[in-house]
Structure 1
Amino acid sequence: MKNIIRVSFWKAFSIASLFPALFCLPSCQNGTATRDSWSVYKGDATSSSYSSLNQITKENVATLEVAWVFEPNDAPDGARAVKYECNPIIIDGVMYLTSARHVVYALDAASGKIIWSFDPFDGKGGAIKRGVSYWQSGTERRIMFTAGNHLFALDATTGEQISDFGDNGKVNLNIENFSGEEAWVVPTSPGIIYNNLIILGSEVSESYGAAPGYIRAYDVRTGKLEWTFHTIPWPGEVGYDTWPPDAWKKVGGANNWGGMSLDEKRGIVYVPLGSPTYDYYGADRKGMNLFGNSLVALEAGTGKLVWHFQTTHHDLWDYDLPAPPNLITVTKDGRQIDAVAQTTKTGFLFVLNRETGEPIFPVEERPVPASNIPGEQAWPTQPFPTMPAPYAGQYLTEQDLADFSSDSQQQVLDAFRSFRYEGIYTPPDTSGTLLTPGSRGGSEWGGAAWDQQTGLLYLNANESPEIAKVSRGVAWKSPRDQSMYNVGRSFYNTYCASCHGANKQATDPSIPSLVDVGKRLSKDEILNRVKNGKGKMPAFGQVATGNEEEILSYLLEINRDKISQKSQNESDTGMVYLNLTAYGYFRDKEGRPAIKPPWGTLNAINLNTGEYAWRVPLGNIPELQQPGDPPTGIENYGGPVVTAGGLVFIAATGDQKIRAFDKETGDEVWTADLPGNGYASPAVYEANGKQHLAIAVTGNRDKPGGWMIVFSLP
């Protein structure tokens, strides 16, 4: 590898200057990219994460320095840091972004100076938000974004709410579920613009009682719902026969939370979908379960199904499709084919014909292990692409286990031998199952970057096996009680678990446990704390309003009875088993990964041939790196961008750095320190004649709001 150039963030920032620039109005049409813009989430409607700018090159990247830093300063006093994943858009010198608190800002892209801001929650927002969408018709320009369960429209010039859009500037996105009650949806990734429509996915609960993940299109001018695609099919619709007859009334999920891509010329939107609920147990949803875990191609103007391809049948592993596909063109057998490349958590890359959904490289249905859970029927086969080879490990042996010490090695070996494990697609089991890849394996929401010049797709990946154990769960006095509890649990996991712990048992002594909170506080006192905050706890009034019963149901476990193994009827499997240990890392007793490195990689795949051009570790944990070994790699979130200057830029890792790699060789040629982790995809744009590189950085206890940090050449 070449020598790596390191830049200290704080030193660079201390010498950087902030210069005001002239106020500019955006001028691109419906997100169509121009050379100096980054006008759509992930660069353009095709999700290329590619920039044609070439001012920053392999020869001068070492001189990059911090041009400006924007710190929103909109986190309430005592607020905790939340993961900041925004990929900003830049149009004619104006950067539009969301903060970690869901505040929308317009900044001068050359200096970081605020032009306007809009706070949908009056200082009470928080949780993941990855950016905004831009629409223009003539001189009318709008910023479209979601916050909580609402879609907003703002004047792009002034930041003022469009009063005649929806209900006084916003549209409620909640969906009536099978019981007639509202089930919340909270989109985390920006919608995509097609003509005068904004097409939206959503994040929903991952438990029983979740909302279905319908794909919906709204009129950008009026907020009117124009079409809906049912991801859990209704009677008479394609895919209905892959579910039990009443599934459309009660099963949730199969949602698009990572974003989508658009072929503007063909008028087709490509929508990657997640798993149906419950994530790890599907006895109540027997069948293949279309359109869960499917890449779905829809007519963008009508929502009509064009084609679909399911990447995991009857998902029991939380193998959501986590990111928008890249729209690509490959050369195969002497002819050019427009295609889509879909990344996955499994480490498979599915390359499909853009018009038909037919695989470019052969895909085989292969037998996989059966489930041992009473009532569960795992699908007997799963699709395996024959090329490219998987970019994440899918089978472990004892030789793959970490050996930090003899004690650690023996402990990991004993654990490994105790699990049920038959390779990828081993179903969760009551004895404990090792999932390889786990739900954090392979690709995450950042997706891949595509370079048409080289025919290479660049993607980062995790090696993160997990432990899952399915246990007897709970009985409910009514389906409504269960639904309310699960909505409350999803609220808790989104807004509360990072401080109070996954099981309500806080590990920080300064944060109270919420176990048996009903013995200390009344219902009114609990809701007052949630809505108005106290001490270090921020207020969640805006997002809690309308969910009061559900929050109390979860915190107080109302109408929830634990099932005794002796009393449970084995034949009654409908709502008995729940996965209580999902997302359990496979680690040794010191908390170190239980498998040998690399634990994170950056990959370049030639999609004309299906072969790898290169593969390198991404990130490093020096204290775990053995003498003479390559970097360890680190679990990573966020994606890469690739440029015409010959570089791949990526942060993503948990070591507080951003890096540049030679796109032809994979050599790491530059790295810079960040004040936090850059769990976001960078944006590349031009302002005042200079190429810039922007990355959102997650905050910390002292600076909970995070930063938008922008680099440029001197």
Structure 2
Amino acid sequence: MSTDGALSRSRLLPSLLGILLLLMGLAMLAGGIKLSMLGGSLYYLLAGIGLALTGILLLMARRAALGLYALVLFASTVWALWEVGLDWWQLVPRLAMLFALGIVMLLPWFRRPLLRDGAAPMGTGALGVAVVLAGVTALASQFTNPGEIKGQLDRDSVDGMTNTAPAMPDGDWNSYGRSAHGDRYSPLTQITPQNAHKLVEAWSYRTGDLPGPNDPGETTAENTPLKVNGMLYVCTPHSQVIALDPDTGKEIWRFDPKLSTQNAANFKGWAHMTCRGVTYHDDAVYATEQSPTGSASAPVASVCPRRIFLPTADTRLIALNADTGKMCEDFGDKGQVDLRANIGGFTAGGYYSTSPPAVTKDLVVIGGHVTDNVSTDEPSGVIRAFDVHTGKLVWNWDSGNPDDTTPIAEGKVYTRNSPNMWSMFAVDEKLGMLYLPMGNQTPDQFGGARTPESELHAAGLTALDIGTGKVRWHFQFTHHDLWDMDVGGQPTLMDLKTADGVKQAVLASTKQGSIYVLDRSTGQAIVPINEVPVPQGAVEGDHTSPTQPKSDLNLMPPPLQERDMWGVTPFDQLICRIDFKSMRYDGPFTPPSLQGSIVYPGNFGVFDWGGISVDPVRQIAFVNPSYMAFKSKMIPAAEIAAQGPRKSETEGVQPNKGAPYGVVLEALLSPMGLPCQAPAWGYVAAVDLTTHQVLWKHKNGTVRDSSPVPIPLSMGVPSLGGTFTTASGVGFLSGTLDQYLRAYDVKNGKQLWEGRLPAGAQTTPMTYTGKDGKQYVLVVAGGHGSLGTKQGDYVIAYKLSE
């Protein structure tokens, strides 16, 4: 073998690395030039030059390559520390690749071809120092937890504070939020922080309701079952109701409404296929009570003394006998009310109730989902109250005509396109009030044509009189909403201890991260709410509010900066930085624009329909905030057709027919499909409601089920769905993007247990006592189509091992 041949082969690896570094450098240089022209960091331009020159030197077999690379790595480490400090997940895309290549370049068999006269290659020592510095930086970052708050609740109760929600057996879960107060607090104590790790699967049941080939993309299992009347009541995405034995999961009865396609070619006409829950009404509960007006209750003769009310995806409200699953023939038209009445035309699936109705002594009250951003001529957001026994319309509250609640005349149509209430009501029958978390008037990102009536009740909380539907008070949380900041979570009612005594409070969690705390009798703020200046400058034909209300009790994130842009490599991070600098962003409430604007928090919100849970005895809230940025871009109406058809509510151009602009609204993601903003993206936290301070806050969840490689890295992922708490101090959450049900100690946030699930569980779990006297924790694991979690049809119960 010739010496020249051996030397040629030994130079192969440096040459290959040289080519790689040259290509990396040129790519980084090109991106760096564009970023610098946008006013961004100069690092990528300079690093690109350094990497490209290093590659050229390696191709020339020059020892100076090591010294130059040492300078690039050293400067990169200093720059990374200056930008993000010791934040491991922020350091990874900046340094990991350069660090690994530095180690390769230090290997003897790599350096050997660079020797010409037997002397050590120039720069070896410098490169060694740079690699060690980068490694030490990475090691030191393992001992930090940016964004987390460590704390400990030092009390088991607050003097004089009790659970004042409507009475029910401790082991039942009568309403979506356990009680009509929406507190999601159970007085059960069998599962404790000391034994929660002993939870095991008790039983599993499969509903058989799986997404089909013609279903919409957002087919979701967001159901929280009820446990009442000795049974569990589950509803499925296709509006089926199943009664199960709570101890065994054995099916007792099933009702299938046999959905109509409403003349759609197939189910793809629907934006969603969702059933969050059903509602239970028992005449016996009211037999000895008085109505809110003080009149005595009369005995009610009914073919269905115990009823389940089911909203269907084809726009019906059905009353079922809770004992048998048969339709209650005395309700409406042989057991059902057609909610299309007086609504006017709509696209199939464009109007129906995704959430359970509210019930009171005499009424069943229902709102409705209206598909966002299709047109300016969509169905009304009317709230309708029907007689709980006969199905007769008693009153209607239309936010577009808010003063007239007299049942609408035959042949008339409710105000088209008025703000709707698609989430869950809270009810205080003692005060005689219903609490409505309101959405806004579609289209979401353009409000130039909104009426004063629609603006008044949008994106806030409205309290109605139960008996008449008249407005008692209202409070707006987002003025002239251009960001889809409808109030998604069920309001929570509780007695709150304050410096001025105990207050009857309503808590409203919101997408922007504020938790508004109001007196539920008057609507006056209990926790201060301040009007803060926000960015200005809407598109032509629209306007912005000069200020927005911010609660002193909030989990709002700090504004994004360029350095917050993230990726798994320097290259997708660079693309995210270019994307960030290319769009308009002036902080929260940056108006939509033709240029494209960043919406942060995004329209999934810090808190969405999962809401919050409270412990009224400890006076804390247990919450699961998420932080995901979105981007919106306004498209002039004349250009919409060229963009192609709308695919879903989060894909393609939303046409906003009748408005001067359509909109593209999507998550701010890197080319690899990961969030452009740095983790963590999801937390669990507790708030002391007596001081308004966050007690503790810990990142929550892994990327096991959302990354190409199923590694359970604890990065903190978003969650969709809510929490619940128990009197023993254990909280539960299942809504994270990874497939787990988890238990936490509410005093400090310590994770006590996790159970692996066969599918995503973007819902709110619940707890109950079985006939065997055991406490169970129940979760529906069916996945979420638009979030991409694994879909299924599972209902799973857990209890402590013997």
1:359-370 residue pairs with structure 2 within 5 A? 359-370=525-536
Confirm whether residue 417 of structure 1 aligns to residue 499 of structure 2: no
CA distance in 2, matches of 1:422, 1:395: 8
Counterpart of 2:181 in 1: which secondary structure? Answer: coil
1:655 corresponding residue in structure 2: 738
For 2:193, give the aligned amino acid: K
CA distance in 1, matches of 2:342, 2:591: 32
CA distance in 2, matches of 1:597, 1:74: 35
CA distance in 2, matches of 1:222, 1:249: 22
Larger deviation, residues 446-455 vs 359-368: 359-368
From the superposition, tell whether residues 710 and 475 of structure 1 become closer, same or farther in structure 2 (CA, over 3 Å): same
Counterpart of 1:414 in 2: which secondary structure? Answer: helix
Counterpart of 1:409 in 2: which secondary structure? Answer: helix
Task: Report how far residue 454 of structure 1 moved.
Answer: 1.1
Q: Deviations over 1:675-694 (max 9, x none)?
A: 01111101110012000001
CA distance in 2, matches of 1:621, 1:333: 43
8 A Cα contact 1:448 1:640, kept in partner: yes
8 A Cα contact 2:758 2:792, kept in partner: no
Confirm whether residue 57 of structure 1 aligns to residue 192 of structure 2: yes
Counterpart of 2:531 in 1: which secondary structure? Answer: strand
CA distance in 1, matches of 2:505, 2:758: 39
For 1:329, give the aligned amino acid: D
Task: Report how far residue 646 of structure 1 moved.
Answer: 1.5
2:462 corresponding residue in structure 1: 296
CA distance in 2, matches of 1:372, 1:282: 10
1:382-397 residue pairs with structure 2 within 5 A? 382-385=548-551, 387-388=552-553, 390-397=554-561
Larger deviation, residues 409-418 vs 698-707: 698-707
Confirm whether residue 686 of structure 1 aligns to residue 769 of structure 2: yes
Confirm whether residue 603 of structure 1 aligns to residue 603 of structure 2: no
8 A Cα contact 1:69 1:707, kept in partner: yes
Task: Report how far residue 474 of structure 1 moved.
Answer: 5.0
CA distance in 1, matches of 2:387, 2:220: 31
CA distance in 2, matches of 1:668, 1:101: 34
Task: Report how far residue 407 of structure 1 moved.
Answer: 1.6
1:17 corresponding residue in structure 2: none
Q: Deviations over 1:296-332 (max 9, x none)?
A: 1111121111110000111110001001111122221
Task: Report how far residue 92 of structure 1 moved.
Answer: 3.9
For 1:213, give the aligned amino acid: G
Counterpart of 1:469 in 2: which secondary structure? Answer: strand
TM-score (norm 1): 0.77
Task: Report how far residue 83 of structure 1 moved.
Answer: 1.4
For 2:464, give the aligned amino acid: L
Confirm whether residue 144 of structure 1 aligns to residue 309 of structure 2: yes
Which consecutive residues of structure 1, in runs of 5 or more, have no partner in the other structure? Answer: 1-29, 238-247, 477-481, 483-488, 505-553, 561-573
Task: Report how far residue 404 of structure 1 moved.
Answer: 3.1
Task: Report how far residue 232 of structure 1 moved.
Answer: 2.1
1:646 corresponding residue in structure 2: 729
From the superposition, tell whether residues 117 and 461 of structure 1 become closer, same or farther in structure 2 (CA, over 3 Å): same
8 A Cα contact 2:210 2:793, kept in partner: no
Counterpart of 1:410 in 2: which secondary structure? Answer: helix
For 2:516, give the aligned amino acid: F
CA distance in 2, matches of 1:218, 1:475: 45
Residue 171 of structure 2: which of 31, 36, 39 is its match?
A: 36
Counterpart of 1:216 in 2: which secondary structure? Answer: strand
Q: Deviations over 1:523-554 (max 9, x none)?
A: xxxxxxxxxxxxxxxxxxxxxxxxxxxxxxx9
For 2:716, give the aligned amino acid: G
8 A Cα contact 2:221 2:784, kept in partner: no
From the superposition, tell whether residues 143 and 257 of structure 1 become closer, same or farther in structure 2 (CA, over 3 Å): same
Counterpart of 1:289 in 2: which secondary structure? Answer: helix
Counterpart of 1:462 in 2: which secondary structure? Answer: coil
Q: Deviations over 1:205-254 (max 9, x none)?
A: 223211121111111111111111122235889xxxxxxxxxx9865152
Confirm whether residue 324 of structure 1 aligns to residue 484 of structure 2: no
Confirm whether residue 279 of structure 1 aligns to residue 444 of structure 2: yes
CA distance in 1, matches of 2:585, 2:200: 48
For 2:795, give the aligned amino acid: M
2:34 corresponding residue in structure 1: none
For 2:477, give the aligned amino acid: T
Task: Report how far residue 410 of structure 1 moved.
Answer: 1.8
8 A Cα contact 2:402 2:471, kept in partner: no
2:250 corresponding residue in structure 1: 113
1:456-605 residue pairs with structure 2 within 5 A? 456-473=620-637, 493=648, 575-579=659-663, 581-582=664-665, 584-605=666-687
Q: Deviations over 1:84-135 (max 9, x none)?
A: 0110010142001112221111111111111111100169888110111111
Larger deviation, residues 279-288 vs 113-122: 279-288
For 1:410, give the aligned amino acid: L
8 A Cα contact 1:209 1:250, kept in partner: no
1:135 corresponding residue in structure 2: 281
CA distance in 2, matches of 1:187, 1:446: 16
Task: Report how far residue 578 of structure 1 moved.
Answer: 1.5
Q: Deviations over 1:583-630 (max 9, x none)?
A: x111222122111111011121111111111111121226989xxx99
From the superposition, tell whether residues 75 and 660 of structure 1 become closer, same or farther in structure 2 (CA, over 3 Å): closer
From the superposition, tell whether residues 284 and 595 of structure 1 become closer, same or farther in structure 2 (CA, over 3 Å): same
8 A Cα contact 1:32 1:45, kept in partner: no
From the superposition, tell whether residues 79 and 451 of structure 1 become closer, same or farther in structure 2 (CA, over 3 Å): same
1:551 corresponding residue in structure 2: none
Percent of residue pairs identical: 31
CA distance in 1, matches of 2:579, 2:319: 52
Q: Deviations over 1:629-676 (max 9, x none)?
A: 993111211100101121110000111111111010001111110001
Counterpart of 1:658 in 2: which secondary structure? Answer: strand
For 1:40, give the aligned amino acid: S
For 1:608, give the aligned amino acid: T
From the superposition, tell whether residues 689 and 79 of structure 1 become closer, same or farther in structure 2 (CA, over 3 Å): farther
Q: Deviations over 1:540-588 (max 9, x none)?
A: xxxxxxxxxxxxxx9xx9xx9xxxxxxxxxxxxx722121x11x11122
1:229 corresponding residue in structure 2: 397
Q: How many equivalent pairs are there?
A: 587
Larger RCO (alpha carbons 8 Å, 6+ apart): 1
Which consecutive residues of structure 2, in runs of 5 or more, have no partner in the other structure? Answer: 1-164, 262-266, 285-303, 406-412
Q: Which has the larger radius of gyration?
A: 2
1:262 corresponding residue in structure 2: 427
1:244 corresponding residue in structure 2: none
From the superposition, tell whether residues 612 and 183 of structure 1 become closer, same or farther in structure 2 (CA, over 3 Å): closer
Counterpart of 1:450 in 2: which secondary structure? Answer: strand
1:212 corresponding residue in structure 2: 380
Task: Report how far residue 180 of structure 1 moved.
Answer: 11
CA distance in 1, matches of 2:428, 2:467: 12
CA distance in 2, matches of 1:692, 1:180: 42
Task: Report how far residue 431 of structure 1 moved.
Answer: 0.2
From the superposition, tell whether residues 58 and 218 of structure 1 become closer, same or farther in structure 2 (CA, over 3 Å): same
For 2:466, give the aligned amino acid: A
CA distance in 2, matches of 1:356, 1:222: 32
8 A Cα contact 2:400 2:419, kept in partner: yes
Residue 375 of structure 1: which of 513, 537, 541 is its match?
A: 541
CA distance in 2, matches of 1:700, 1:410: 31
From the superposition, tell whether residues 153 and 36 of structure 1 become closer, same or farther in structure 2 (CA, over 3 Å): same
Confirm whether residue 713 of structure 1 aligns to residue 713 of structure 2: no
8 A Cα contact 1:421 1:433, kept in partner: yes
Confirm whether residue 69 of structure 1 aligns to residue 204 of structure 2: yes
CA distance in 2, matches of 1:143, 1:175: 22
TM-score (norm 2): 0.69
CA distance in 2, matches of 1:187, 1:302: 22
For 1:297, give the aligned amino acid: A
2:592 corresponding residue in structure 1: 428
CA distance in 1, matches of 2:446, 2:460: 18
2:162 corresponding residue in structure 1: none
